[in-house]
């Protein structure tokens, strides 16, 4: 790797070792037609993606000592479209779950959505207004396990009903876990259509009702973990607002953010989230 001053978001050697085999295999399977090896190491490409995710800078504002927009976006889009970003994410999730003495795939997931504002230039055809939360933009849906690790993510217009997000999430959970998930917890924003759809997939969807006696904000046992994951994702400023023209790019940003989170958890000698 070219010598330069490191950024806090840079991969450590231990973190790079976790994903290096995947990207080296990808590179071997995608040889250049001209035989040109490229001007930038894949480790530096990942560093640029992580830097943008953590800081939220525009493509044209990537630092000059990182790969430029053209190279970074080329790989970001390639890995988004062929699923390499999700492959890396899922491998780290399996690794982390096994480190926590759990099976690779969960039996229970928690579903929830978050409506976020979009940046200027995001196509109006992919956005809407969340009538309940009064937020114009997109709706980010997550399915997480009991450790708060992402199993599936979907991006919809904020005007989409919770049922649409819930059904899409359940479909992706079933596909990603090959039938290991048998139970899903949701809040009361999700309705019977999600319960019925889950039953068809072999997943028992339990709508967790709020205790009427509770005053103010009271975390719900087990279901609270998805809220914690949303909070962790907000450390990645690129996710505070949705800047992506494609919903698939927005989903990819979540996978890269969680890859960052999990690589840190798998290499505990790295600094904490709040840099001093």
Q: How confident is the model at residue 44 (pLDDT cuts 50, 70, 90)?
A: very high
The pTM assigned to this predicted structure is 0.91
Q: How confident is the model at residue 276 (pLDDT cuts 50, 70, 90)?
A: very low
Task: Decide: 234 and 274 in contact? Cβ < 8 Å.
Answer: no
Distance of CA 57 to the CA centre of its chain: 18
Q: What is the pLDDT of residues 148-195, one digit of tens each?
A: 999 999 999 999 999 999 999 999 999 999 999 999 999 988 989 999
Distance of CA 46 to the CA centre of its chain: 15
What pLDDT, on the 0 to 100 scale, is given for residue 225?
Answer: 94
Question: Is 121 inside a domain boundary?
Answer: yes
Q: How many residues does the chain have?
A: 276
Q: How confident is the model at residue 214 (pLDDT cuts 50, 70, 90)?
A: low
Give the domain CATH number at 222: 3.30.420
Q: How far is CA 15 from CA 143, 152, 156, 229, 236, in A?
A: 25, 23, 32, 21, 18
What is the rounded average pLDDT of the residues 210-220?
62
Q: How far is CA 73 from CA 6, 31, 46, 224, in A?
A: 21, 18, 11, 35
Question: Is 87 inside a domain boundary?
Answer: no
Higher pLDDT, 125 or 1: 125
Question: Is 248 inside a domain boundary?
Answer: no
- Domain residues for the domain of 125 are 103-242
Q: What is the pLDDT of residues 60-97, one digit of tens each?
A: 999 999 999 999 999 999 999 999 999 999 999 999 99
Question: Is 107 inside a domain boundary?
Answer: yes
pLDDT > 60? residue 238: yes
Least confident span in 26-30, 165-169, 214-218, 263-267: 214-218
Question: Is 17 inside a domain boundary?
Answer: no
Number of domains in the chain: 1
Question: Is 195 inside a domain boundary?
Answer: yes
């Amino acid at each position: 790797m070219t010598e330069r001053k490191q950024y806090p978001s840079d991969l450590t050697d231990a973190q790079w070792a976790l994903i290096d085999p995947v990207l080296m295999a990808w590179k071997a399977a995608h040889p250049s037609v001209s035989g040109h090896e490229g001007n930038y190491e894949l480790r530096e490409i990942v560093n640029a993606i992580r830097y943008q995710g953590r800081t939220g800078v525009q493509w044209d504002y990537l630092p000059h000592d990182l790969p430029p927009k053209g190279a970074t976006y080329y790989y970001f889009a390639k890995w988004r479209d062929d699923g390499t970003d999700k492959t890396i994410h899922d491998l780290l999730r399996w690794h982390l779950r096994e480190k926590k003495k759990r099976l690779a795939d969960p039996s229970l997931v928690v579903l929830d959505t978050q409506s976020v504002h979009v940046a200027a230039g995001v196509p109006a055809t992919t956005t809407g207004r969340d009538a309940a939360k009064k937020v114009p933009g997109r709706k980010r849906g997550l399915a997480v396990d009991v450790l708060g690790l992402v199993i599936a993510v979907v991006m919809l217009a904020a005007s989409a009903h919770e049922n649409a997000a819930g059904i899409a999430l359940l479909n992706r959970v079933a596909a990603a876990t090959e039938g290991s998930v048998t139970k899903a917890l949701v809040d009361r924003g999700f309705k019977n259509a999600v319960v019925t759809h889950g039953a068809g997939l072999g997943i028992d969807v339990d709508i967790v009702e709020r205790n009427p006696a509770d005053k103010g904000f009271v975390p719900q046992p087990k279901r609270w973990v998805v809220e914690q994951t949303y909070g962790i994702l907000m450390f990645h400023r690129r996710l505070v607002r949705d800047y992506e023209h494609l919903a698939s790019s927005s989903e990819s940003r979540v996978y890269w953010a969680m890859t960052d989170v999990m690589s840190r958890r798998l290499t505990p000698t790295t600094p904490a989230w709040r840099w001093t």
